[in-house]
Structure 1
């Protein structure tokens, strides 16, 4: 379960994250990610509209997304703001399918937020000669 410090609550935080350029979509969801200050814990927000289904279905989808987000928090405990927007297909998706879509979208969005640093071969070669 996500603690209070890892939940996004203000509309300004949602807007900033959704307007970021790091977006990744899958069949069941769209995921937006933005960098947050390194010392701030990673925060997650969830958007599940009425297009997903009735209140019972929307709450089920939100609970599943919160649980999946809590699992991804272990790898990225700080420095990210993430918003997951459930698409109508999420209403009929099973938990493993939703988790797979979330994992792929999360990896792609985080890669856009935190590009891999190129390895400096010159310093590596210099260190091996000594």
Structure 2
């Protein structure tokens, strides 16, 4: 479980992130991200509706998304708020594809949040000189 300081807890926090943040959609998730104060801890919230499946399936999807966000927290401990909405396809997704969709959406969101840097954004939010391609960012070659 994520520490309380790293969780979005109020409806206002969720609404602010969804309405003010950038949106990145993938097959299994839609991710919203917004920059917060650079000193504030990164926070994560999850939306997993009944359309995803029964309670057991929803909790499995939520646990997997929570673990993926914990990996992000190690790389990006401060400065972003993220809301992840699980889509119905997430119910049948394996861990690898769900984590891949999450990571890809997060990279896209971070890239859009920092266009003024002129460089490409790494998973940990840092920038590297040059333009780069998607292959450079995730090694997938897609």
TM bucket normalised to smaller: 0.7 to 0.9
Whether 1:90 and 2:93 are equivalent positions in the alignment is no
- Mark the structure with the bigger radius of gyration: 1
> What's the offset of the Cα at 1:117?
1.3
Secondary structure of 2:45's aligned partner? strand
Map of 1:1-130 to 2, 5 A cutoff? 1-115=1-115, 117-118=117-118
- Corresponding residue pairs, total: 119
> What's the offset of the Cα at 1:118?
3.1
RMSD between superposed Cα atoms in Å: 1.2
Q: Which ranges of structure 2 fall in alignment gaps of 5 or more residues?
A: 120-142
**TM-score, normalization: structure 2?**
0.80
Secondary structure of 1:74's aligned partner? helix
Secondary structure of 2:75's aligned partner? coil
**TM-score, normalization: structure 1?**
0.87
Task: Please give the alpha-carbon distance, in whole angstroms, between the structure 1 residues aligned to 2:21 and 2:43.
Answer: 17
| Structure with more relative contact order (C-alpha pairs < 8 Å, separation 6 or more) | 1
Task: Please give the alpha-carbon distance, in whole angstroms, between the structure 1 residues aligned to 2:109 and 2:115.
Answer: 10
Q: Which aligned runs of 4 or more in structure 1 are off by greater than 2 angstroms? A: none
